[in-house]
Amino acid sequence: MSEDSEALGHSLWGGRFSAKPGAVMQAINASIDVDKRLAAQDIAGSRAHAAMLGATGIISAADETAIQRGLTAIEGEIAAGVFAFRVELEDIHMNIEARLTELIGPAAGRLHTARSRNDQVALDLRLWVREACDRTVARIATLQRALIAKADAHADDLMPGFTHLQSAQPVTFGHHLMAYVEMLGRDAGRFADARRRMNECPLGAAALAGTSFPIDRAMTAKTLGFDAPTANSLDSVSARDFALEALAAAAICATHLSRLAEEIVLWVTPQFGFIALSDAYTTGSSIMPQKRNPDAAELVRAKVGAILGALVSVTVVMKGLPLAYGKDMQDDKVPVFAAFDALELALAAMAGMVGDMTPNSSTMAAAAGVGYATATDLADWLVRRLGLPFREAHHITGAAVKQAESLGVELAGLPLDALQALNPGVTSDVYDVLTPRASAASRLSFGGTAPDQVRAQAQRWKDKLK
């Protein structure tokens, strides 16, 4: 650290102090390696604040012009990669203010009128999380479109539907994929809701109590795209629930991605063989040359740990803090940044895998009828055609499954006389419902697995995402 830079950093807040912080204090106190990611947001907030100070006459027009010119120069330096981020200046706010002072002189000191680093960082993080929510919603839509396209193309392809990972009823591959479209739609809604709630501007709350200067908080809020200024200065600088809510939405979304990733891992095994992935989303083994590992899916599956951990981390940072600001909040940014980095990458990887996957339709169709998957169809036929109570029909169907097991056949392979021995009213028409295709095609209720329903839901989502 040079004497000049040391003096400059100390002068931003050091009037009360006669010695510089110790080395360990500087190391634990500095956050610039993390919060330099907030440079764009910090500059945007400073521009809005300077414009408001100028419009209200708190600073002169000449000072405002100089400040805006200096901020533009700093923005250019950061974009060009030539801005010198200095640890001794602690954080992004002081780094930018110090450089502004070097560029325009004393006028830079007027920028901090009627604000504090407390409302600055509250603003910067709120702006960053708001943008992260927007980016995430866009990436979710990209994944949804990939799922919809694949579902539409394979609306007729049969596969087993599972409960307890046991074969339950035949469904279509398109229907299975559309389930994730619905989940992701709710995820996007959660991010949109979080964004709406966080869209109030804390700038102008100053350190915690507001300011005696005649500022126009509505002006800065509007300039920065907020719906309104926050209504309580203590809450403005101390609230991080906007980040917690966004992280909660991220954790739920990551859980959905992890479930789909797990299914992809299962489906590409030779034991399932339901889909294939290309070289683009698989890797090989250093010792087993035959291997094609679904590493992209496995890594997506793992991301939920880091994202859920981020939610827990920020919750623990905030759980015992009295109002208003505490330096503990400096540690909120690492998990927030890491969580959204992980989620955006996972969404991109999953969209790529969904577009890349090739379903093995014949293998899925063969598996769709295994495990007496049309048993419910037999019970439903007994109710519809013979007027039996469902519980009685369920009992007869269970007996039919037991007999089929003893003969080593599926239900469609049971002789008619064997079914008639269970109930004499059974006719040969029953075989029309005992195939997996007939079973899937019969599920015409809204949201069911019938191909026409799948195509209708795919179209609904295509329209919704336009």
Q: Which residues contact 141 (CB under 8 A, 6 or more apart)?
A: 188, 465
- Give the helix/strand (H/E) hosting 359: strand 358-359
Q: Which residue of the set 18, 164, 212, 406 is catalytic? A: 164
Q: Cα–Cα distance between 222 and 228 in angstroms, integer?
A: 7
- For residue 241 the two structure tokens come to 């629930």
SS3 assignment, position 381: helix
Residue 457's Cβ-count burial label (10 Å; 0-12, 13-18, 19+) is buried
- For residue 209 the two structure tokens come to 């109590």
Q: Are 237 and 202 in contact (CB under 8 A)?
A: yes
Q: Cα–Cα distance between 315 and 27 in angstroms, integer?
A: 24
Q: Are 435 and 429 in contact (CB under 8 A)?
A: no
Burial readout 105-143 (b: 16 or more C-beta within 10 A, e: otherwise):
eebbbbbbbbbbbbbbbbbbbbbbbbebbeebbebbbbb
Q: Cα–Cα distance between 120 and 330 in angstroms, integer?
A: 12
Decide if 93 is catalytic.
no
Angle at 166 between CA 161 and CA 172, to 5 degrees: 10
Residue among 128, 145, 358 at smallest CA distance from 264: 358
Q: Are 261 and 202 in contact (CB under 8 A)?
A: no
Cα–Cα distances in Å, from 201 out to 24, 213, 239? 34, 17, 12
Q: Cα–Cα distance between 385 and 429 in angstroms, integer?
A: 10
Length of the chain: 466
Cα–Cα distances in Å, from 173 out to 250, 256, 366, 401, 455? 27, 18, 13, 25, 12
Q: Which amino acid is located at 394 in the chain?
A: H
Q: Which residue of the set 11, 60, 278, 285 is catalytic? A: 285
Q: Are 231 and 217 in contact (CB under 8 A)?
A: no
Decide if 395 is catalytic.
no
Active site residues: 164, 285
